[in-house]
Amino acid sequence: MTTTLTAKETLFEVTNVKKYYPIKGGLLRTTKGQVKAVDGVSLQIYPKETLGVVGESGCGKSTLGRVILGLEPLTDGQLVFKGQDITHYRASQLKPLRKEMQMIFQDPFASLDPRQRIGPAIEEALIIHTNLSASERKKRVSDLLVEVGLKKEHYYRFPHEFSGGQRQRVGIARALTLNPSFIVCDEAVSALDVSVQAQVINLLKRLQKDYELTYLFISHDLGVVKHISDRVLVMYLGSMCELGSVEEIFSNPLHPYTQALLSSIPRPEIRKDRERIKLQGEIPSPANPPSGCRFHTRCPLAQEICARKVPEYREVKPGHHVACHFA
């Protein structure tokens, strides 16, 4: 049984979450090390907001989303959803909460059975979680297809008969089937053309308002994140660099990594005073992350303390947190 939240309460609380993958080798397949995909992430997600998560490929964005939803077992930490500690919930215990938490995948074609028509594919959740009759399920799915900008007759089509943008709308309809309150959008528009991206983003914003949804929006496209997010979390090599409102992050970035990311956004105007920050070197391996601040091997401001001491993740102004010795 779920509880009702007020607007000021926390929908999802993530505390010191870690996700390590073992590296096995040898004849006996013994553990040789660990890939620290997510290492000590703590944050709060509030009702009806969009929290954007950005960072380079391999920084742990998608893994964080999957761990939060219980699709990947966490190594350590705590997950609290609507006041319930779901950290050690088994699959049977998580099943009632599946109606509340859904996911929109980067490639909806890969998550759909190519031999199954769209209507029955979306209906599966209704069969598992509800007692609706066949006609009621069909009506529900048909109405959702219209809601996301498709047609009722698309119910009978196969996945290969849709364009990329239409398939993503199918993925959105499937996520909405059970009236969830929290949706993880994992690179939901990255595979789409720019014009189609804008349409899908506007659709997500409208649905958020109509259904009072909360989004965890994972993306590497900072322009998209700026347009849709209320707050932004910047990750690097599995750890948190900076968290703040979208206005603060984009107008007053404090972490050198955030500054480098924002300087790489293409802009149409030509300004002589605008200089792109070019990071030197390669991203270290999450199996053997650097000591101290994980960004110090590429940071233009790094000093001796950065390699020796992990920076404290602190609040420098209300709602704006950063992990940097010199912020």
> Is the CB of residue 103 less than 8 Å from the CB of residue 65?
yes
- 216: Cα separation from own chain's centroid: 5
Give domain status of residue 98, yes or no. Answer: no
Quick one: pLDDT at residue 169?
94
Give domain status of residue 62, yes or no. Answer: yes
Containing structural domain, residue 279: 12-48+55-92+232-323
pLDDT tens, the chain, 327 aa long: 344 444 458 999 999 999 999 999 888 888 888 999 999 999 999 999 999 999 988 899 999 999 999 999 999 999 999 999 999 999 889 999 989 999 998 887 788 889 999 999 999 999 999 999 999 999 999 999 999 999 999 999 999 999 989 999 999 999 999 999 999 999 988 878 888 899 999 999 999 999 999 999 999 889 899 999 999 999 999 999 999 999 999 999 999 999 999 988 766 555 555 567 777 778 888 989 999 999 999 998 899 999 999 999 999 999 999 999 988
- Cα–Cα distance measured from residue 185 to residue 226, given in angstroms and rounded to the nearest whole number: 15
Region for residue 246 given its phi and psi (left: phi exceeds 0; alpha: psi -120 to 50; beta: otherwise): alpha
Give domain status of residue 154, yes or no. Answer: no
Radius of gyration of the chain (CA): 21
Q: Which residue has the tokens 């009632």?
A: 96
**Going by C-beta distance under 8 Å and a sequence separation of 6 or more, which residues neighbour residue 198?**
none
Q: Domain count of the chain? A: 1
Quick one: pLDDT at residue 4?
46
Give domain status of residue 128, yes or no. Answer: no
> Is the CB of residue 38 less than 8 Å from the CB of residue 58?
no
Give domain status of residue 61, yes or no. Answer: yes
**62: CATH:** 3.40.50.300
Give domain status of residue 222, yes or no. Answer: no
Instruction: Give 78-118 as a 3 state SS string.
Output: EEEECCEECCCCCHHHHHHHHHCEEEECCCCCCCCCCCCCH
Quick one: pLDDT at residue 3?
44
Quick one: pLDDT at residue 208?
97
Give domain status of residue 116, yes or no. Answer: no
**Going by C-beta distance under 8 Å and a sequence separation of 6 or more, which residues neighbour residue 202?**
none
The DSSP H or E segment spanning 259 is helix 256-263
- Cα–Cα distance measured from residue 190 to residue 303, given in angstroms and rounded to the nearest whole number: 36
Give domain status of residue 297, yes or no. Answer: yes
- Cα–Cα distance measured from residue 94 to residue 71, given in angstroms and rounded to the nearest whole number: 10
Quick one: pLDDT at residue 267?
65
Angle at 268 between CA 168 and CA 271, to 5 degrees: 145
- Cα–Cα distance measured from residue 228 to residue 230, given in angstroms and rounded to the nearest whole number: 7
